[in-house]
């Protein structure tokens, strides 16, 4: 019985490592998309540029968190990847708050209500 549990835990660890690699690849796809959109917009103030920075910090955090024995990263703190995830989340929160505050001060709405859309038709 113990051998069965040990085998399931080791395969579970392999599965989690595999999922971590998939997460990294899936994080790179939106990074490429938003960087290309940011380059087309040619403005750092656009939403695409800001999201690109968020995704880039998140991807770097993911790479550092899933450090697979890369010698360059061995001198860094083992928690640096998690800390970068927190920094990315804080940046995202501040970015959305500033965008909301800016829209509010200009009298614009970030999202229109469904009632307003139905009345305009």
**Is a pLDDT exceeding 90 seen at residue 80?**
no
User: According to the model, what pLDDT value does residue 90 have?
Assistant: 93
- Average of pLDDT values for 56-64? 85
- In 3D, which of 76, 47, 45 has the Cα closest to residue 60? 76
**45, 13 contact by CB (below 8 A):** no
- pTM for the complete prediction? 0.66
Q: How far is CA 102 from CA 37, 41, 47, 62, in A?
A: 22, 20, 13, 31
User: According to the model, what pLDDT value does residue 1 have?
Assistant: 44
Query: Domain boundaries in the chain?
Result: 2-110
* Angstrom distance (rounded) from CA 35 to CA 52: 6
**Structure-token match 């995704």, residue found:** 55
């Amino acid at each position: 019985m113990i051998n069965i549990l040990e085998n399931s835990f080791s395969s579970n660890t392999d599965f989690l490592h595999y999922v971590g690699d998939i997460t990294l690849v899936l994080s790179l796809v939106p990074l490429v998309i938003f960087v290309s959109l940011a380059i087309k917009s040619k403005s750092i103030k656009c939403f695409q540029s800001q999201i690109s920075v968020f995704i880039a910090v998140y991807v770097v955090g993911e790479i550092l968190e899933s450090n697979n024995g890369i010698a360059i990263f061995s001198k860094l703190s083992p928690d640096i990847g998690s800390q970068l995830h927190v920094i990315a989340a804080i940046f995202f929160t501040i970015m959305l708050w500033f965008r909301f505050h800016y829209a509010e001060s200009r009298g614009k709405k970030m999202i229109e209500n469904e009632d307003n859309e139905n009345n305009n038709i």
